[in-house]
Amino acid sequence: MCTSLLYRDAADRAYLGRTLELSLELPYQIALFPQGLALASTVAGHPALGWETRYGALAVTMPAVPPAPGTTFGPADLKVIEGLNTAGLTFSVQSYPQAGGPQDPVAADRAALSAVDIGAFVLSQFATVAEVKAALTDLPVVLEPVPILGGLMMPFHYVVHDRTGASLVIEFHHGVRTIYDNPVGVLTNAPQFAWHLTNLDNYTFLNNVDRSRATFGSYAATQPGSGIAKAGLPGTDTSVDRFIRAVFYAEFAEKQQQPDKAVQMVAHIMNNFDRPRGITVDPPESGSGHLQVAGHTLTTVPTEFTSWTSLSDLDRRLFFLRDSAGMNYVRFDVGALASTTTFHAAPMAKLVPPTPDGTAALTAA
């Protein structure tokens, strides 16, 4: 469930690729949060934490509660899953079921940030990873039950990147919050982020150089084609294996000179994490658990699939998105939206492009 990675081009500009995998389709909304918007987060038993947005942001969001048909959403109704702000800061939510647990108490007279609002808070307030890290050092953040997830205690962790390529992970493990510097720019799911880095120590042999010839006794062995360098990569879609593969692709993919080519490179990289329906299935008696979402009942054996993929060009503030219905991306110029002063939201399905038909264009040419 979810892979994100940071790619750097030949000029060291940063680009983010991210997939989201679930076993069901959800009512994702693309939302524009403008600069100067009043937002607030409320934790039960505490004063509300209010702020005004310093930066505009475009985000993939989900309703916090099961929506009725025809619902019109406001800023408080939608919670950020993935986003890019006008300063070039990104925020990503990824599944982490081990988040819930006993939390440090917060004085009743102190305002606190609900974990469900971390995305809106980070994207609307900050331009750099350093600013985010400083702000969260002393700010109470509280895990609360999520109604649309059947009351689960916010089962996620979070990764933030800025234009310089700096990266951090915000993780709750059994209720205990840790903020990690992320030296590889990659995040998947469980186990803990620190465990993934330790596991990476087992892969120091990885490189992208094919060793296609060897001698065994008097026999000269020769590979019939290229690609043997990937033999050491783990091959499953578990979060542990995806983490290693994501580090490999981010490290060794050719560094492009032009930003448009770099975006294309990230799109190619993320194709390696695209999961079609049915590739792995999870029968109840032997499979893994899946998020249960109110109003969305599974009637078949669960199969995780890539629901959508996003690409972010942090330097140019461009956001690209495609859903499971096609392979074409729609492009959003987040920088150009900086002058927008009103909140907007629309269903993802209405904004992503259909597959173009080149029949008429071919004959016209």
What are the pLDDT digits (tens) for 67-97?
787 888 999 999 999 999 999 999 999 999 9
Q: Give the helix/strand (H/E) hosting 92.
A: strand 90-95
* Residue 294: pLDDT band with limits 50, 70, 90: low
Dist CA 283 CA 150 (whole Å): 21
Q: What's the CA angle centered on 188, arms 115 and 12, to 5 degrees?
A: 100
Dist CA 217 CA 306 (whole Å): 47
Q: What is the DSSP string of 130-151?
A: HHHHHHHHHS-EE--EEGGGTT
Place of tokens 């499979």: 287
pLDDT at 298: 65
Q: What is the pLDDT of residues 346-359, one digit of tens each?
A: 999 999 988 888 99
* Residue 174: pLDDT band with limits 50, 70, 90: very high
The mean-pLDDT minimum among 61-65, 244-248, 270-274, 310-314 falls in 61-65
Cα-Cα end-to-end distance for the chain: 43
Q: Give the helix/strand (H/E) hosting 338.
A: none
Token output for 318: 């461009």
Average pLDDT of span 37-49: 95
Dist CA 248 CA 241 (whole Å): 11
Dist CA 359 CA 350 (whole Å): 24
Q: Is the pLDDT of residue 183 over 90?
A: yes
- In 3-state terms, what secondary structure has residue 256? coil
pLDDT at 295: 62
Token output for 360: 């008429």
Q: Is the pLDDT of residue 246 over 90?
A: yes
Please give the domain boundaries of the chain with CATH numbers for all domains: 3-209+238-364 (3.60.60.10)
pTM score, whole prediction:
0.95
pLDDT at 146: 83
* Residue 291: pLDDT band with limits 50, 70, 90: low
